A and B are shown apart, each in its own frame.
Chain A
Amino acid sequence: MIGTVVRVGLLRMWHGRVALLLDFAVPIAFFTIFAFIFGGQVGLGKSPRVNVALVDEDGTDLSRKLLEALAGQDTLRVYSPEGGEGGATVFAEVGPARELVLKGGLPLAVVVPRGWAASFLGTGEEAADVQVLADSSDPVATQVVSALIRQVAGQIRAEQARQQIASVLGPSAAPFAASAAARFTRPVGVEVLEILAAGKASPVVSMYAAGIAVMFLLFGAVGGAGSLLEEEESQTLERLMCSSLGMPRLLAGKWLLLTIVGVVQVTVMFAWAQLAFGVDLLGHLPGFAVMTVVTAGAASSLALALAAACRTRAQLNAVAIILILTMSALGGSMVPRYVMSGTMREIGRLTFNAWALDGYTKVFWRGLPLRALLPEVAVLVAVAVALFALARLLARRWESV
């Protein structure tokens, strides 16, 4: 009897070979995606690199030496206006670099302040640490760069100390000078300035709220759009097509409902984030409203296109799980995109999760005005229109045969 139960299960799995294939393919697909995210781009031969701007206000040989050493690190990609790898720019003033970080062009800037060399050598009147102007939406980058600065500046200091000791004791004392310099030199100070964090409570929470909200917005929309397939199965769709309704109005009605439900869903999520974690929803209502409406609209169009493309509810569920989890993983809903390599970040931009999250980050984290949302809004509206048109095209199979 037990064997028969097993046999029934195996036979049913065999007859549903697509579902069986998905059972094996989905875990492999997600393992691969996360391996790419966390594994330093398996197979691509590149490590994740942090984009930084360099500012030399000190203008000394020592500061130039420090920044050149930093620019030579594999972990960093130094900003250059042309975007070229070779043409690294070192700003003389902090203003432009600060502006780049504020607008989200870079996660951080390294500033060597005036008087740093003197302070570093112990000849200055005041201490002047190297500053990291950080966009805290990317805390990993801040930690990485701070550690690098300490390492590189520490090596310079040790070299300086070794040369001083050797000059006093003579060339024969070089080995001793090196070990003494390494043992007795002071640690190098790095000051991290959170230039976007001022006055913000739970700054990273808004990013996670947006990430989770967008992912579940997609799941919710697909669930709702699946009603089309249920209506097809029960012949309700056939009855609707025989009424005065027509397919364009049916799809428009479904889209509007899904969008309204999506907007409410995301709003409730952020309201909870405000109540429980202090995310400033009320302070960013216009930007939130714009981003939420266009994101919910795009999610609704995607869900309708998927439902129109699939033949059964089970097929829709399987496709939706793969697509939504992949988009969420690549687009930053599961793992912040700042931990990904540059290539993975670029791939992520093919998903509308990434555009939506970039928009929410501009609203909640950078506090940028509405006009700054134009690229994200334009992309999401274009996606919504294109996918709705696709859904309309695919839905022709329900109209007449």
Chain B
Amino acid sequence: MSQSPSTRGSLALRIRDVAKRFGSAVALDGASLELRRGERLALLGPNGAGKTTLVRCISGRAVPDSGEIEMLDQPLPPSGGRQRLGFVPQEVAVYPDLTARENLEVFGRFHGLRGGDLREAVGWALAWTGLPDRAGELTKTFSGGMKRRVNIACGVLHRPLVLLLDEPTVGVDPQSRERIFVMLEELRDHGTSILLTTHQLDEAEQRCDRIVIIDHGRVIAGGTLSELIEGTVGAKRRVTLRLAAPGPRPEGFRAGAGPRELVAEVGDVALELPDLLDRVREAGGEVSDVEVRAPSLHAVFIHLTGRELRE
């Protein structure tokens, strides 16, 4: 599953100005992004932002009205030509009344594997998912996490160079999520470039190399977490002081959530926090608790997409 030297360094996916309408509804409005070779890219966005449509355009299930999609430096036709692409849908899209091994075998065949290659791929997938002992059991008897692992394995049996995952960890426990990301890291280590959509911001923050945020059919921000923070909410920490009793608000603070809370932004916590505490004490206040919070992806996401509910 290693990457060929001749293609190393180029882009796994390049999406430029892709637009797609469904009747009067605009699903994609000139979306552009790049997935680098061997990269894990998280695609974030509120409900209805266009994530699934973008993934469908890449997988060939939706035909863009305009724009270009290139995979491994080659233009992707509207359908077909996706032998090196893997796709894992959001639902557990395996046959519940087949065993894990049977599911892997049939999806391997659908991806063109035969004979020894198929046997080898199924053996690898069972080991990769940690399910060799359950290979002969019907998948409908599996836990949610086990089903998810089989679901992912069925999409990578043909060793794709680019893998699309639509919310691969939705509805599973922390242990299964951990296992799934270990599996995906293993794939990445062997050269597979991964684009995943998720609503789990911590997954994007901790498990992906870069993050792209899409809203109203357009990519509105992209980069590493620190780049996103720098470009939106800024890198300053938020310091929240809780007082023993309501008191005056010294200079440099703003009101917090309650009458006993004071909030300030600091660039260097070690240097600036003692001064903040001194100012409160000099103003007659008694600090009972201190909270320092680094800017998060959550703050970036809300900053970019707003708090309005998306239905």
- Give the interface of A toward B (CB within 8 A): 234-236, 238-246, 399-401
Smallest CB–CB gap between B21 and chain A, Å?
A: 11
Tally the A-B contacts, defined by beta carbons under 8 Å.
53
> Given contacts A400-B60, A400-B61, A400-B79, are A243 and B89 in contact (CB under 8 A)?
no
Smallest CB–CB gap between A400 and chain B, Å?
A: 5
- Top 5 A-B pairs ranked by shortest CB distance? A235-B89, A243-B110, A235-B91, A235-B93, A242-B87
Q: Are the CB atoms of A238 and B89 closer together than 8 Å?
A: yes
Q: How far is the CA of A321 from the CA of B61 in the complex (A)?
A: 32
Chain A residues with Cβ below 8 Å from B155 are 239
Chain B residues with Cβ below 8 Å from A238 are 59, 61, 87, 89, 93
14 contacts between A and B (CB under 8 A): A234-B93, A235-B89, A235-B90, A235-B91, A236-B93, A238-B61, A238-B87, A238-B93, A239-B93, A239-B154, A239-B155, A242-B85, A244-B112, A401-B62
- Give the interface of B toward A (CB within 8 A): 22, 56, 59-63, 78-80, 82-83, 85, 87-95, 107, 110-112, 154-155
Q: Are the CB atoms of A234 and B83 closer together than 8 Å?
A: no
- The interface centre, meaning the residue of A244, A245, A246 with most chain B CB atoms within 10 A of its CB, is A244
Chain B residues with Cβ below 8 Å from A400 are 60-63, 78-79
Q: How far is the CA of A234 from the CA of B91 in the complex (A)?
A: 6
Smallest CB–CB gap between B299 and chain A, Å?
A: 33
Q: Are the CB atoms of A240 and B110 closer together than 8 Å?
A: yes
Q: Are the CB atoms of B62 and A236 closer together than 8 Å?
A: no
Chain A residues with Cβ below 8 Å from B111 are 243-244
Q: Could you tell me the dominant secondary structure of chain A's interface residues?
A: loop
Of chain B, the residue at the smallest CB distance from A227 is B95
Chain A residues with Cβ below 8 Å from B78 are 400
Of chain A, the residue at the smallest CB distance from B88 is A239
Smallest CB–CB gap between B62 and chain A, Å?
A: 5
> Given contacts A239-B154, A239-B155, are A245 and B91 in contact (CB under 8 A)?
no
Q: How far is the CA of A243 from the CA of B154 in the complex (A)?
A: 11
Chain A residues with Cβ below 8 Å from B87 are 238-239, 242
Q: How far is the CA of A362 from the CA of B79 in the complex (A)?
A: 48
Of chain B, the residue at the smallest CB distance from A247 is B79
Q: How far is the CA of A68 from the CA of B89 in the complex (A)?
A: 77
Chain B residues with Cβ below 8 Å from A244 are 83, 110-112
Q: How far is the CA of A362 from the CA of B241 in the complex (A)?
A: 95
Q: Are the CB atoms of A239 and B89 closer together than 8 Å?
A: yes
Q: How far is the CA of A255 from the CA of B256 in the complex (A)?
A: 67
Q: How far is the CA of A239 from the CA of B22 in the complex (A)?
A: 22
- The interface centre, meaning the residue of A236, A239, A244, A245 with most chain B CB atoms within 10 A of its CB, is A239
Chain B residues with Cβ below 8 Å from A401 are 22, 56, 61-63
Q: How far is the CA of A161 from the CA of B30 in the complex (A)?
A: 102
Chain A residues with Cβ below 8 Å from B63 are 400-401
Smallest CB–CB gap between A85 and chain B, Å?
A: 57
Chain B residues with Cβ below 8 Å from A239 are 87-89, 93, 107, 154-155
> Given contacts A236-B93, A239-B93, A244-B112, are A399 and B62 in contact (CB under 8 A)?
no
Chain A residues with Cβ below 8 Å from B59 are 238, 242
Chain A residues with Cβ below 8 Å from B60 are 241-242, 400
Chain B residues with Cβ below 8 Å from A234 are 91-93
Chain B residues with Cβ below 8 Å from A399 are 61, 79
Q: How far is the CA of A174 from the CA of B258 in the complex (A)?
A: 124
Q: Are the CB atoms of A241 and B61 closer together than 8 Å?
A: yes
Known: A236-B94, A239-B88, A401-B22. 4 other contacts (CB 8 A): A235-B89, A239-B89, A400-B78, A400-B79
Q: Are the CB atoms of A242 and B82 closer together than 8 Å?
A: yes
Q: How far is the CA of A22 from the CA of B223 in the complex (A)?
A: 55
Of chain B, the residue at the smallest CB distance from A242 is B87
Smallest CB–CB gap between B84 and chain A, Å?
A: 11
Of chain A, the residue at the smallest CB distance from B79 is A400
Q: How far is the CA of A401 from the CA of B79 in the complex (A)?
A: 11
Smallest CB–CB gap between B114 and chain A, Å?
A: 11
Smallest CB–CB gap between B288 and chain A, Å?
A: 51
Chain B residues with Cβ below 8 Å from A241 are 60-61
Q: How far is the CA of A240 from the CA of B155 in the complex (A)?
A: 10
Q: How far is the CA of A242 from the CA of B82 in the complex (A)?
A: 8
Chain A residues with Cβ below 8 Å from B82 are 242
A243 CB contact (under 8 Å) in B79, B90, B107: B107
Chain A residues with Cβ below 8 Å from B89 are 235, 238-239
Smallest CB–CB gap between B67 and chain A, Å?
A: 15
Smallest CB–CB gap between B88 and chain A, Å?
A: 8
Chain B residues with Cβ below 8 Å from A245 are 110
Of chain B, the residue at the smallest CB distance from A236 is B93
Q: How far is the CA of A399 from the CA of B59 in the complex (A)?
A: 11
Chain A residues with Cβ below 8 Å from B110 are 240, 243-245
Chain A residues with Cβ below 8 Å from B93 are 234-236, 238-239
Smallest CB–CB gap between B82 and chain A, Å?
A: 7
Smallest CB–CB gap between B200 and chain A, Å?
A: 19
Q: How far is the CA of A235 from the CA of B87 in the complex (A)?
A: 11
Q: How far is the CA of A400 from the CA of B107 in the complex (A)?
A: 20
Of chain B, the residue at the smallest CB distance from A250 is B110
Of chain B, the residue at the smallest CB distance from A240 is B110
Q: How far is the CA of A299 from the CA of B59 in the complex (A)?
A: 34
Of chain A, the residue at the smallest CB distance from B20 is A401
Chain A residues with Cβ below 8 Å from B61 are 238, 241-242, 399-401
Q: How far is the CA of A240 from the CA of B91 in the complex (A)?
A: 13
Chain A residues with Cβ below 8 Å from B94 are 236
Q: How far is the CA of A238 from the CA of B107 in the complex (A)?
A: 12
Smallest CB–CB gap between A223 and chain B, Å?
A: 14
Q: Are the CB atoms of A236 and B85 closer together than 8 Å?
A: no
Chain B residues with Cβ below 8 Å from A236 are 93-95
Of chain A, the residue at the smallest CB distance from B155 is A239
Smallest CB–CB gap between A47 and chain B, Å?
A: 54
Q: How far is the CA of A238 from the CA of B56 in the complex (A)?
A: 9
Q: How far is the CA of A242 from the CA of B93 in the complex (A)?
A: 12
Chain B residues with Cβ below 8 Å from A242 are 59-61, 82, 85, 87
Q: How far is the CA of A349 from the CA of B92 in the complex (A)?
A: 45
Smallest CB–CB gap between A254 and chain B, Å?
A: 14
Q: How far is the CA of A239 from the CA of B89 in the complex (A)?
A: 7
